[in-house]
Structure 1
Amino acid sequence: MDSSLQVSMNTQELRRPTDDGPEEDTSADEEDEEPKVCHVCGDQATGYHFNALTCEGCKGFFRRAMKRPASFSCPFRGNCVITKSNRRQCQACRLKKCQSIGMLKELIMSDEELEQRRHILKQKRKRAEPLVLSPQQEGAVQELLQAQRSTFDVSFVDFKKFRPIDRNLAPMHEYGQMLLDPSPAFSSPQEEALFQFSSPSNCDERPDATDASSRVFITLPHIADLTTYMIQQIISFAKLISYFRELSMEDQISLLKGAMFEVCQIRFNMLFNDETGVWECGALSYCMDDAARAGFQRHLLDPLMKFHYTLRKLRLDDTEYVLMQAISLFSPDRPGVTDQGTIDRHQEMVALMLKTYIESKRMSTDKRLLFPKIVACLTELRSMNEEYTKQVLEIQDIQPDVSPLILEVVSKDP
């Protein structure tokens, strides 16, 4: 045999696909544009099948004949000429032709192997297809967005009859004063400056820092009114979600109490200016000093401030923010929850919507990292929940200006 022909045949042998339909076959010679014909019947060949260049029809015939052996007999003399038009008339001669051109039974995959191969191919095609929200998911997202827009007063025009905020006294610890040994953990000098506090020695010099019982939390009345306003809106938000309303009243209350601090902070993050470290609430504005003046302590405010910078830098849109709130709301492990299975399914559904939304709407190359980053922010926020409850109760013991609604939310009673 000519050596160049042998090399060509060996190359084609390496390129032969396994037995799994035309989408897995290779053409006989990609460099030769001449149409190839089946070596059995002369029909158009689709590639190499079981060691020979054949059409789909003869490929399937050989597979069936080998998997379910039958005693074929030629009604004529055993030397029928097989063509495209008559290939069904004599199975015996067609099978003999298949074998004569080199088709091998050993290359046929078992049913189990075929099923496994099809499953792998299906998964590959699924991963290659662009993700899009289904009509049902689109409807659920629109419901959440409408609930958000109906219940989140981003300009705070309806926030009225509140007790005025008093900033006459400096807080126990200040956000905005640079330390001499600033931490290198921040991404910009502005963020670093806004995040630092005055030194402990300076705090000790304040006359109201020596005796906890003598502290006056001057911004507490206003912050309590602001928090109460936010809580009322979040309750209204939850009640506009159809699959929240389907839960028992006990589970609705447990979910709201468990998620209130987290959802409130997610909403506040939408108003956070990470250039100035200020929450811009329409005509009102707040800094972390205001929370410090209300009696909240550094071991809550430190991680909370960092959370707001981290989340804001993700540049989420309204849909991503509202889905993040829904994931927090439908947490099946909140204290007092009874129907954990249903709530877990709701949370999984919302998480999948968020992943699909990011995949289908975001154009950046690192979009696959966004969902894990959002989950990390939710986890970080969850870790502050208990400390927030503890500090609210401590503040109320010192200065009873916390509203009954806030106390109801942070109470451990079901």
Structure 2
Amino acid sequence: KRKKGPAPRLTEPELCRVCGDRASGYHYNVLSCEGCKGFFRRSITKNAVYKCKYGGKCEMDMYMRRKCQECRLRKCREVGMLEECLLSEDQIKAKRLRRQSTDPASPAAAATPTLPAKMSPEQTEIVEQLLKAQREVLHPSKEDVEKVTPWPNDSDQSKEAAEARFSHFTDLTILGVQAIVEFSKRIPGFLRLTREDQIVLLKSSAIEILVLDVARRYDEKMDMLYFWNGLPDHHTVEKMQEVFLETLQAYIKTTMFVLVYVCNRADVSDHHTVEKMQEVFLETLQAYIKTTMPSDRLLLPRILMKLTDLRAINNTHCEQLLALKVENHKIPPLLSEIWDVPQ
């Protein structure tokens, strides 16, 4: 199990998949050099638009990468670089804060501002609303759970048993998605968004919230995942473990659900309102942590960094969906609609 940290260094010389220069590691999902890594990051963060002078068919190498930016950016995307892997401004600040705070000699560590030890009435109301929503809608009813396709005997390796196992997991996923839809309606400010933006936020965040919900069910001592029907999955899910490295209080877990919704969703039309929602929830979470856990100054940066891990899991999920289509697994209509998978 590899620990989190910088992109891994390569023991043998490897070539950048964009330009052929010596690669320094995996950046934004692709083996690449420092130059192409920086070029891709700058191009995406600045929303750069380039124009090829040579007809848009440049063969990319170490020479042409300096001559044609349009073809270089296109090659970055063709080989698999993902915009979703870039850190947001909030996540960059959190990462910088975490590094500075771990250095006792850092001026930033000593200059970290202190927040009021008391939450505002508005923030207290948000906390109460989210906790109430979590209690009431994030747990399917017993009747719904009983409708889930039963898990076949583990010794049964027939085609029918394989299909039943697939149906079992898709049934559980449908229950989770339905709960997320109901939970989203309880998020303060969500229903004031246009219907189109509500759908965008729901579609883009559903798998990340499902992962968070599954992570809540992980039993570290038993190394098991417990689902709504009480059946454990004995397989360790390392990525899900990493999302919750520490035991977080209920509100912090719930707020992570909300932050997944409102952070960095580029396809919404009302960016201003979504950004205001993000600001309100971040300030409330910060005040809550300061009030209940004043000694843990690094908790908020750690939480924000976990959003990056969730985005990476989302990217992997998209790849797995394509694999399922290739293997002719039938994905239920609700999940196909949420994840934009053609039937």
TM-score when normalising by structure 1: 0.51
State the shift of 1:405 in Å.
Answer: 0.9
Say yes or no: does 1:402 pair with 2:331.
yes
Partner of 2:172: 226
8 Å Cα contact 1:155/1:281 also seen in 2: no
Give CA deviations for 1:315-345 in whole Å, capped at 9, x if unaligned.
01110011111000112424x3111121011
d(CA) in 2 for partners of 1:250, 1:281: 32
d(CA) in 2 for partners of 1:234, 1:253: 12
Say yes or no: does 1:262 pair with 2:208.
yes
Distance 1:288 1:409, change over 3 A: farther
d(CA) in 2 for partners of 1:269, 1:156: 21
Q: Aligned partner of 1:387: which letter?
A: T
Q: Aligned partner of 1:339: which letter?
A: D
Say yes or no: does 1:139 pair with 2:125.
yes
State the shift of 1:127 in Å.
Answer: 4.3
Paired residues for 1:194-205 under 5 Å: none
Question: Which of 196, 201, 207 is equivalent to 1:250?
Answer: 196
Task: State the percentage of identical aligned residues.
Answer: 25
Paired residues for 1:147-226 under 5 Å: 147-153=133-139, 158-168=144-154, 216=162, 219-226=165-172
Alignment RMSD (CA, Å):
3.1
Say yes or no: does 1:337 pair with 2:268.
yes
State the shift of 1:280 in Å.
Answer: 2.1
Partner of 2:73: none
State the shift of 1:386 in Å.
Answer: 2.1
Say yes or no: does 1:355 pair with 2:282.
no
Larger radius of gyration: 1
Distance 1:163 1:231, change over 3 A: same
8 Å Cα contact 1:166/1:218 also seen in 2: yes
d(CA) in 2 for partners of 1:388, 1:331: 19
Q: Aligned partner of 1:143: which letter?
A: Q
Paired residues for 1:119-130 under 5 Å: 127=113, 130=116
Partner of 2:99: none
Question: Which of 234, 242, 247 is equivalent to 1:310?
Answer: 242
Structure 2, unaligned stretches of length 5 or more?
1-109
Partner of 1:390: 319
State the shift of 1:387 in Å.
Answer: 1.9
d(CA) in 1 for partners of 2:317, 2:163: 16
SS at match of 1:279: strand
Paired residues for 1:104-119 under 5 Å: none
Question: Which of 277, 300, 316 is equivalent to 1:346?
Answer: 277
d(CA) in 1 for partners of 2:212, 2:262: 15
d(CA) in 1 for partners of 2:239, 2:143: 27
SS at match of 2:297: helix
Question: Which of 223, 229, 238 is equivalent to 2:184?
Answer: 238
Structure 1, unaligned stretches of length 5 or more?
1-123, 172-207, 290-301
Count of matched residue pairs: 233
8 Å Cα contact 2:209/2:260 also seen in 1: yes
State the shift of 1:399 in Å.
Answer: 3.8
Partner of 1:377: 306
8 Å Cα contact 1:148/1:237 also seen in 2: yes
Distance 1:273 1:221, change over 3 A: same
Give CA deviations for 1:273-308 in whole Å, capped at 9, x if unaligned.
11122122355223264xxxxxxxxxxxx9xx2232
8 Å Cα contact 1:155/1:283 also seen in 2: no
State the shift of 1:216 in Å.
Answer: 4.5
Distance 1:167 1:261, change over 3 A: farther
